[in-house]
A and B are shown apart, each in its own frame.
Chain A
Amino acid sequence: MGADDSAVQRTGRSGFRPRVQDVLLTAAAVFAFTTLLLIASDAPPLQAYHQLFLGSLGSWAKFAQVVKVWIPLTLCACGLLFTFRIGLWNIGVEGQVMLGAVFSTWALRAGSDSPASGAVLIALSLSASALGGALWAAVAGFLKTKGGVNEIFAGLGLNFVAQGIVLWLIFGPWKQPGVASMSGTETFPTELWLSAPALLRIPPAALAIAAAALAASGLILHFTWIGLYLKAVGRNPAAAFLYGLKPARLMVLAMLFAGGFAGLAGNLQVTAVYHRLIPAISSNYGYLALLVVMLANYNIWLTAPVALFFACLNVGSIQLPMMLQLDSSLGGVIQGALVLATLGMHGWRQIKTAKTASRPSAPPF
């Protein structure tokens, strides 16, 4: 116990290794909380959990749905690993997804009259989306480093602006012929779809992009200068400056990575899922990815399974209203409760270790 505690205390956030007992305790607490909630809303808990399971892993078709959620979630999470590494709360990831979607829609629309093949156009739209997301993130990055605006407020504000841009485009310049509609822009011809083989139901290209993003993030963060520099600035910007690093530039760089990955997520929402721009194009995956990364304890290898679990909850809860007259937000409740419980457990551990280390922390009066 003693040696273990000091290890937790010494390594702090990133080195915090969840212990089996903590994980079990957290899971039990969340399970109990959710069950109470279900009982309070007159729903049979066991049946609800069963439906959650059936709805996500009950068939290949459902699982394919789950993977289609997992892909953008993982992309956003990869980007967030960069910003968390340098100590930034990139809550603007949501808007970065939207701008990625806007840029890819723009690229596809602009190219649809050209003789270029569908594959080329999709490749172009992927680049455009990464650029769009990165630009949007850079705005928050510069507001933070040059304007002294906290990145949380900058990101939140930019999210609203991004949503405004999406709605304006759908109801204005890019409206469907005839009448503008909440259902989004006109659907792209199928050659501009990132399509899936009938049996697989998952676009292989999208899956490959997510896998590549995971691998690239892992390599960059663990083996390159960028990873080392981001970590150094994240842990101690003042000291990092003394070692010759430029914290402000590195913060913008981390934002560019986050925005780029989020932009790709936005692209896949357009090319692989909806085949058009819709108002809710980001599907809150940005916000959800923040929870994923926190629950994965900022660890890239845990990110993929945690994202998968969240995707299961998301997809599985869709049919709750139909089957049990339960609101589908139950999935969100479980996700939120999990993150809060995990963070609470972590905080409690820290307070406990701080106390045993006998640090005086008595407040005045």
Chain B
Amino acid sequence: MQVELVDIRKHYGAVKANDGVSLTVAPGELHGILGENGAGKSTLMKILAGFTARTSGSVRVDGKPVDYRTTAEAVGHGVGMLYQDPLDFPQLAVLDNFILGQAGKIALERKAFKARFRELAESFHFRLDPETPVNRLTLGERQQVELLRLLALGTRLLILDEPTTGISAGQKEVLYAALRRLAVEGKSVLLVSHKLEDVEALCDRVTVLRLGRVTGAMERPFDTERLLEMMFGTPPPAPSRTAQPAGSAVLVMDRVSSPGGRSGLVDCSVAIRQGEVVGLAGLEGSGQEVFLRVAGGLKPPLSGSVKLSGRSMSGCDYHLFNKMGVYFVPAARLEEGLIPELTITEHMALQEERRSFRVPYPAAAENAARRIEAFRIKGRPQTPVEALSGGNQQRLLLSFLPPDPRLLLLENPTRGLDMESVNWVWRHLQSCARKGAGIVFSSPELDEILMVADRVLVFFNGRLIMDAAAAETDAARLASAIAGKA
């Protein structure tokens, strides 16, 4: 069956997750959707699978426009999706998961279903015992169960979202073999991935998304360089770094490991120096988040040591790091950085010195007004922070930083900001660096890292696999390091 997506848009407030995406999948086609995190791949697929409602645009199946609102209706049209985390029932047996959602009579014909399951599983060389509870299976096996279920439901277009994450190499082979067979049978497959190698190994045709738009498409044989460029954009014209000599080491990590996120942080040794702006690159969850949290004392290292200006910080929490001049600014502004329902004045008050029992609200309000002015925040002292726009929330967070920090740890500091705000944020941070602060930030935007960072650290699977001066590397080299080809 042929499926067309025409001018699909999905807006979350001001954020355009999909901004006019059009795409056609032919019958029997193995079609790859490539793009970095946040490019809009998953949103697009969830729209196609009926999981998420689109803002505008249309879906056509075999030339006829269809309109479905739920995943069940999508399955009815032959569109099924295998999610990154399988949506199964872990306590139930494999067979029960297989039966669920399939139309049946009142009495469950377990025997008939069992025979059908065995037959299907064998035809794909999946070794699955129908009576095993799903929670005893590996992720790869759970995928296989879900795949069989979708096929039994009559799926003719199968969507797979990052299916190779967390499964073994052997399972990947089995999965790919199964997908190739489906294509031969005339079924279409959409494979979503941010890994070039996955797409290259399987697909006939690739569509690349970036920032919610299609940046290009290509058929086999693939030109890797071109694909990377489509994924990450062309390198920025003129980088403007502070380009000042780095001072003595502020933060030294020695063989630090810590769990968390998708891959944790593994055996990381690195030193951050005064006045240095360091960009952390890598796919989401590759270790950057854990690195920033360990560096700020928000997460204790499982092994290894963290030193601040030569002093061992083992057993210290963020409040002690804070006293040493370390400040952490999280990416999730409203979830972690600001306190919803509290006004700007109340946020200022939280940081005022405690002299008596009474909170000095008048002084805090004055202070708030001063910061609002100095940081050009569009809001008033009595505005609750959740009423501010993302850019203004970020300005507010930065306005809380002291004038002379020693080390700033920033998680994706320009997330969701417009160009003007981005430039403003960086002018401010670079002025901190000139005064001697070490600045470490993570960003999914390679352009941004190359523009402002003096040094780039690339993380892959929890490991620091590249540590280079920004002036001596380029977007292509970074992109391949991010994909694990250092």
The interface residues of chain B lying within 8 Å CB-to-CB of A14 are: 341
- Is chain A's interface secondary structure helix, strand, loop, or mixed overall? helix
Per-position contact with A for B321-340: 1 when CB-CB < 8 Å, else 0? Answer: 01000001010000111111
For A365, give its contact among B52, B101, B349, B357 (CB under 8 Å). B101
Number of A-B contacts (CB under 8 A): 81
Task: Determine whether the beta carbon of A242 is less than 8 Å from that of B53.
Answer: no
Q: How far is the CA of A244 from the CA of B319 in the complex (A)?
A: 6
Interface hits, A219-241 → B, CB 8 Å: 223-225, 227-229, 231-232, 235-236, 238-241
- Report the contact-size class of chain B (Cβ under 8 Å from the partner): 35 or more
Beyond A11-B341, A228-B359, is A242–B101 a contact (Cβ under 8 Å)? no
Task: Determine whether the beta carbon of B101 is less than 8 Å from that of A223.
Answer: no
Per-position contact with A for B351-369: 1 when CB-CB < 8 Å, else 0? Answer: 1001001110100000000
B468 at the interface (CB under 8 A from A): no
Per-position contact with A for B72-88: 1 when CB-CB < 8 Å, else 0? Answer: 10000000000100010
B384 at the interface (CB under 8 A from A): yes
Q: How far is the CA of A238 from the CA of B293 in the complex (A)?
A: 13
Q: How far is the CA of A239 from the CA of B328 in the complex (A)?
A: 11
Task: Determine whether the beta carbon of A235 is less than 8 Å from that of B349.
Answer: no
Beyond A10-B384, A224-B357, A365-B101, is A243–B350 a contact (Cβ under 8 Å)? yes
Task: Determine whether the beta carbon of A10 is less than 8 Å from that of B339.
Answer: no
A199 at the interface (CB under 8 A from B): no
Closest to B337 in A: A239
Task: Determine whether the beta carbon of B340 is less than 8 Å from that of A12.
Answer: yes
Beyond A224-B357, A241-B318, is A236–B340 a contact (Cβ under 8 Å)? yes
The interface residues of chain A lying within 8 Å CB-to-CB of B72 are: 365
Task: Return B191 CB to nearest CB of chain A, in Å.
Answer: 20
Beyond A243-B351, A362-B52, A364-B51, is A225–B71 a contact (Cβ under 8 Å)? no
Q: How far is the CA of A12 from the CA of B330 in the complex (A)?
A: 23
Closest to A365 in B: B71
For B387, give its contact among A10, A229, A244 (CB under 8 Å). A10
A2 at the interface (CB under 8 A from B): no
Task: Determine whether the beta carbon of B350 is less than 8 Å from that of A365.
Answer: no
The interface size of chain A toward B, counting residues with CB under 8 Å, comes to: 28
Task: Determine whether the beta carbon of B53 is less than 8 Å from that of A360.
Answer: yes
Beyond A245-B350, A364-B51, A365-B72, is A223–B358 a contact (Cβ under 8 Å)? yes
Task: Determine whether the beta carbon of B335 is less than 8 Å from that of A238.
Answer: yes
B254 at the interface (CB under 8 A from A): no
For A364, give its contact among B71, B319, B350 (CB under 8 Å). B71
Interface hits, B362-387 → A, CB 8 Å: 384, 386-387
The interface residues of chain B lying within 8 Å CB-to-CB of A15 are: 341
Task: Determine whether the beta carbon of A225 is less than 8 Å from that of B357.
Answer: yes
Task: Determine whether the beta carbon of A239 is less than 8 Å from that of B387.
Answer: no
Q: How far is the CA of A28 from the CA of B384 in the complex (A)?
A: 34
Task: Determine whether the beta carbon of B341 is less than 8 Å from that of A242.
Answer: no
The interface residues of chain A lying within 8 Å CB-to-CB of B87 are: 364-365
B70 at the interface (CB under 8 A from A): yes
Beyond A10-B386, A235-B341, A360-B53, is A242–B357 a contact (Cβ under 8 Å)? no
The interface residues of chain B lying within 8 Å CB-to-CB of A11 are: 341, 384
For A228, give its contact among B319, B336, B349 (CB under 8 Å). B349
| 19 A–B contacts from the bound complex (CB under 8 Å) | A10-B386, A12-B340, A12-B341, A14-B341, A225-B359, A227-B359, A228-B349, A228-B350, A232-B346, A235-B342, A236-B335, A236-B336, A239-B336, A242-B328, A243-B339, A360-B53, A362-B52, A362-B70, A365-B72
What are the 4 closest A-B residue pairs judged by CB atoms, nearest first? A236-B339, A243-B350, A235-B339, A224-B357
